[in-house]
Amino acid sequence: MSAVPITDAPKSRSIQRRLTLLLGAAVLLAAVAATLSAFLLAYREASEFQDDLLRQIAALVEPAVAADSAEQRLPRPALSDPESRIGVLRLPGDTPPDWLPRDLGPGLHRLAANTETLQVFVRAVPPSGRRIIAFQPTDTRDEIALSSALFTLVPLLLLLPVMTGLIVWIVRRELAPIRRLAEQLDARPADRPGPMPDAGVPSELQPFVRAISRLLERVGELLQQQRRFIADAAHEIRSPLTALSLQARNLGQAQTLEAARERLLPLQAGIERARRLTEQLLSLARLQAGAQPLAQIDVAALARALIAEHLSAADARGIDLGLEAVAPVRIAAAPETLRLILRNGLDNALRYSRAGGEVTLRIRAEAPDAVIEIVDDGPGIPAGERALAMEPFHRLPHGGSQEGERLGSQDSARGSGLGLSIAREAAARLGGVLELAQRQGGTGLVFRYRQRLAAGPAE
């Protein structure tokens, strides 16, 4: 025995986990962006502040230079600041370092001195032509900017676990209505679906909840229809089976061959009725099982095939079965479903038309629709009862007609009341409309099916 490969089911995506991760990542990115912004702004502010500081220091030492020019050889105070690492040079007078160009003009300059970079401000002192040079390593301003950025980042990093916990709590709290709705829906009995309450549901979820409620209402209606159908079907099946049992018992009690033959006829008719009912139930089950692929159908060709199938039944009752097709008509439909609709219409027309009468299948185009009619000359159905005629297992009595009851006579050939119901459901699945109308110019019924014409050539 070959092993059957087991495929892994696709992993479900957790909205809560994704929201938590995305919001956490957004907070972290915001912290990094804030840190970078703080660093750039602090660096800029530190640069401007230190440039202004160099200018101010150079301005403060100007009187000392003037005094020095008047009284030479007096001792000069040291102007270097070891904490801020700011240094001051007086030229001429102080020994210029190697990194200082001799022709450096007034203003701000950035110079390389051995292993570090210096920000240098040169101020000229007119009219003597002396120069005051204030300088500071740029590493200092970088340290100030980095310290400012760290002061911004550290609180955010400390708050990150708290913010993550808040994000998780907020996401769980906001998604709690979905979980409660799922629990309420799961707790409901499968045989009694009903609308879901939308009180307290977020407005973004209300359209979804209302759509589910409408779906549950439709499912409830379908379940009710199925319950009625099963009950009616059980009743309809029990009746012919009971009759078959009695007829078989009567046949077994026949004393002569002639009596057996007489009792065999009702038994055969009962078997035929049970067979027909079973076929209709199977047709309805196949119809409800699912949609079939659509194709463009030449309605006249399908009608000719159906007429050929029903010619023997029409000849047996002397019925003139004909086709009227004015122009080619094509519709997009599932072939078997359309055949089911027209076959039910023809079966009813041939069964309830008068002996020696006529049944006509008419095909025409009434833009934008295709119209298919099956016209008989039987007893017809009163206008007030035509809608009921298409309900499952509903029979309309027509006492006094020579054919008995349409859709349900009391003889062995009576109908089940399923044909028109099956045809109506099949028409709805194809997007068409089925209706019953009075035959013009006399008694009889018009079985009329409408559907949009197909675009393009037939297949």
pLDDT digits 0-9 by tens, 59-96: 777 544 444 444 444 344 444 555 567 888 888 777 78
Quick one: pLDDT at residue 355? 87
What is the pLDDT confidence band of residue 5, given thresholds at 50, 70 and 90?
very low
pLDDT of amino acid 459: 44
pLDDT digits (tens, 9 = 90+) for 202-248: 777 778 888 888 888 888 877 777 777 677 667 667 767 777 788 78
Res 456: pLDDT? 58
Sheet holding 369-375, edge to edge: 320-325, 358-366, 369-375, 445-452, 433-438
Residue 43 class from Cβ within 10 Å (0-12 exposed, 13-18 middle, 19+ buried)? middle
In CATH, what class is 190-289?
Answer: mainly alpha
Within 8 A by CB and 6+ apart from 252, the residues are none
**Which tokens sit at 99?**
């990194």
Topology of domain 16-154, CATH: Beta-Lactamase (3.30.450)
Which residues are registered as beta bridge partners of 88? 134
Domain ranges of the chain: 16-154, 190-289, 292-402+416-452
Q: Is 116 helix (H, G, I), strand (E, B) or coil?
A: strand
Judge whether 417 and 407 are in contact, CB under 8 Å: yes
pTM score above 0.75: no
Lowest mean pLDDT among 47-61, 269-283, 411-425: 411-425
In this structure, how many other beta carbons lie within 10 angstroms of the beta carbon of residue 348? 24
Query: Tokens at residue 371, please?
Result: 């119209």
Q: Same fold for the domain at 16-154 and the one at 292-402+416-452?
A: no
Facing residues of 249 across strands? none
How many percent of the chain have pLDDT more than 70?
Answer: 80
Q: What is the CATH number of domain 292-402+416-452?
A: 3.30.565.10
When comparing pLDDT for 6 and 111, which is higher?
111
Could you read off the pLDDT of 113-149 as tens digits, one per residue? 777 888 888 888 777 678 888 888 888 777 776 777 6
| Most confident of the ranges 207-216, 244-253, 312-321 | 312-321
pLDDT of residue 449: 92
Top pLDDT among 377 and 64 is at 377
What is the separation, in whole angstroms, between the first and last Cα of the chain? 44
Q: Over pLDDT 90: what percentage of the chain?
A: 5
The CA distances from residue 76 to 66, 81, 91, 94, 273, in Å, are 12, 15, 13, 11, 131
The set of residues, in sequence order, having a beta carbon less than 8 Å from that of 408 and lying 6+ positions away, is 395, 396, 397, 414, 415, 416, 417
pLDDT at 30 (0 to 100): 80
Q: Can you point out the beta strands (E) in 309-429? A: 320-325, 330-333, 358-366, 369-375
CA 391 to chain centre: 34
Mean pLDDT of the chain, nearest integer? 76
* pLDDT confidence tier of residue 371, bands split at 50, 70 and 90: very high
